[in-house]
Structure 1
Amino acid sequence: MADIDAAEFRTLYARCRHAAAAAGPLGSALDRIVPDRVVAAAAEVRTGTTVSLAAPVETAPGPDNPEPAGHRMTGTVAGEIDESGLQFARDRFAMNVHGDADSHLDALCHVIYNGTLFGGADAGMVKPEGAQTLSVALARDGIVGRGVLLDIPRLRGVPWLEPGEQVTAEELAAAEAAQGVRVGTGDLLFVRVGHRRRRAERGAWDAAAARAGLHPYAMDFVAERRVAVLGGDGNNDVAPSTTEDVAFPIHVLAVHAMGIHLLDYLQFEDLVPVCEQQRRWSFLCVVAPLRFSGATGSPVNPIAVM
């Protein structure tokens, strides 16, 4: 697929930004999840089945995870346990939130483009002590709405997309038709490329250098449908980038141009068989990031409720 030059990308960026502005006041796309849509999303629950969309947190280094999460016990472990009385096991956890292995949410302060944040906010508001604006605190009350999964390997008849392959807007529409579902305003859109299945069957690789993702023009579909959140089982961006001078065009278009929170490195391998069994690809989805003011993102464990 042909590369996108700098001029083409500027045009696409302007179109996405205009689409976001035309949808209403230039606030976070989360504003599209109004109470009535949450109530409607609750009607998606039919069997009470719950499925995690997060991958297990990994503490061992690997080709795609050179800085894994740190976990250590801080007290009352084997050798310290009394035979009587009360004690507590304790531990400590630390994570590089924006790595290439663990499931996480990107806050709107995560993407700095041409010296600014989303909506033209001053990037200088991202200070050493934390972001003073557009942090993950915007989602402090959780993200609850109608989730829709579009399975691109299923559409193509393959187990996964190979690193470097891109998902087009036309494929997103074709997946809708094939799965009998339609993405609408305020939905949480999840796009499966099969990253997790490939990793499980072939082993980890340097996903920072090579991964499947969305083609930048697929964001026209996202803008048209006015989604609230975009998530993928990879980084959402393809690597290597095919856009001149922009390594992460999907991040720029989604977060910076349209105010859409991204969910990166989710896993859909548990959800797909449930969707196939129930013959539907929409569900109630609950995402609860940590309440951490000033953070540029958060580990998350999104839950699909079928």
Structure 2
Amino acid sequence: MRTSDAMSEADFRSLHRRLRDKAPGGRAGRGALETITGTQVLAAVREVRSGRAVSLAAPVNTRIAPDDADPAEHRLTAPASGHPRARGLDFARDRFAMNIHGDVDSHLDALCHVIYDGTLHGGLPAADVLSPDGADALSVDLARDGIVGRGVLLDIPRLHGVPWLEPGSHVTADDLAAAEAEQGLRVGRGDILLVRVGHRLRREELGPWDVSGARAGLHPGAMEFVAEREVSVLGSDGNNDTAPSAVREVGFPVHVLAVHAMGLPLLDYLRFEDLAPVCAREGRWTFLCVIAPLLLPSATGSPVNPLAIL
């Protein structure tokens, strides 16, 4: 865990090329989701012992906050004025709308979400894929049948004996390896890797803050660890990226490396405060993980409520 470790743009671009060229899912198609096989899903099912299911999502935010100027909108549309009929049948109805890629709500980033040098994952020209109607390729539709596999939670604040990492802290490859060793596991091919930085707990205890200026996340160099282990999905209770960015010229380097170079879907702003204590108490940090995005065929992402089943 470090608070400053700058990377030059040249070094970042070199890292981008290395990760792109050895991406396990290739440079197109379903990307890193290709690393999950039927055999691995069956093995993940054997992680279930008690049958307990734990949500990894945060409640959807509907109030303006320092980290959410455009919160989700949810309102009752019927009965009119909130007054039901005194007799006979009536229905309560509501409407919901949200900015999928906000800084509070739990969501999945599709492979069409990150544009770098005018291209998407696999070198596809973004202008040829994206339109006001959505994305013609690499959309969240790649995960239309859900993502099911072995989930692995690496708890970085626990490793350092703190409740959360302070905003601006970087999670390094050494942190990931140390947490892996301390928790007695090894991240492997096809795993759904979840990295806790404590962002959600800090928000709940101290209140929201402007995360565009300061938040804990992964250092770009940590993506070498992720690439080596060939995981299928990367998620965090923060944005995955640190702010300020370690690469001055690139605001979200982990997003660029994961989504654009590696074809690795990201889960942003999850919540691990129910799961982590269970894992610590039971002494196991792996579980069956089920992620079911909405069927939005041309969307760049989706709200999600991932489940850990222990």
Q: Give the TM-score normalised by the residue count of structure 2.
A: 0.96
Counterpart of 1:274 in structure 2 is 278
CA contact (8 A) 1:19 1:224 kept: no
Distance 1:79 1:73, change over 3 A: closer
- Which ranges of 4 or more aligned residues in structure 1 deviate by more than 6 Å? none
- Report the CA distance between 1:164 and its aligned residue: 0.4
CA contact (8 A) 1:232 1:263 kept: yes
Counterpart of 2:97 in structure 1 is 94
Corresponding residue pairs, total: 305
CA contact (8 A) 1:20 1:26 kept: no
- Report the CA distance between 1:293 and its aligned residue: 1.2
CA separation in 2, counterparts of 1:79 and 1:47? Answer: 42
1:168 and 2:172 aligned: yes
CA separation in 2, counterparts of 1:78 and 1:128? Answer: 35
Unaligned 5+ segments in structure 2 are: none
CA separation in 2, counterparts of 1:8 and 1:79? Answer: 58
CA separation in 2, counterparts of 1:111 and 1:26? Answer: 14
- Report the CA distance between 1:24 and its aligned residue: 5.2
- Report the CA distance between 1:244 and its aligned residue: 3.0
CA contact (8 A) 1:146 1:187 kept: yes
CA contact (8 A) 1:164 1:212 kept: yes
CA separation in 2, counterparts of 1:82 and 1:112? Answer: 51
1:152 and 2:156 aligned: yes
1:58 and 2:65 aligned: no
Aligned sequence identity (%): 64
Counterpart of 2:266 in structure 1 is 262
Counterpart amino acid of 2:95? R
1:6 and 2:9 aligned: yes
Residue deviations 1:32-82, cap 9 Å, x none? 111111000000000001100000001010000110000111111665312
Q: What's the secondary structure of 1:163's corresponding residue?
A: coil
The one of 287, 292, 295 aligned to 1:288: 292
Q: What's the secondary structure of 1:20's corresponding residue?
A: coil
Counterpart of 1:300 in structure 2 is 304
Residue deviations 1:87-111, cap 9 Å, x none? 1100000000101000000000000
Counterpart amino acid of 1:136? V
1:170-209 alignment runs, 5 A limit: 170-209=174-213
Counterpart of 1:130 in structure 2 is 134
CA separation in 1, counterparts of 2:85 and 2:104? Answer: 38
CA contact (8 A) 1:147 1:283 kept: yes
Q: What's the secondary structure of 1:239's corresponding residue?
A: coil
Residue deviations 1:183-234, cap 9 Å, x none? 0000000000000111111110001211000010000000000000000000
Counterpart amino acid of 1:38? V
- Report the CA distance between 1:138 and its aligned residue: 0.6
Unaligned 5+ segments in structure 1 are: none
- Report the CA distance between 1:113 and its aligned residue: 0.3
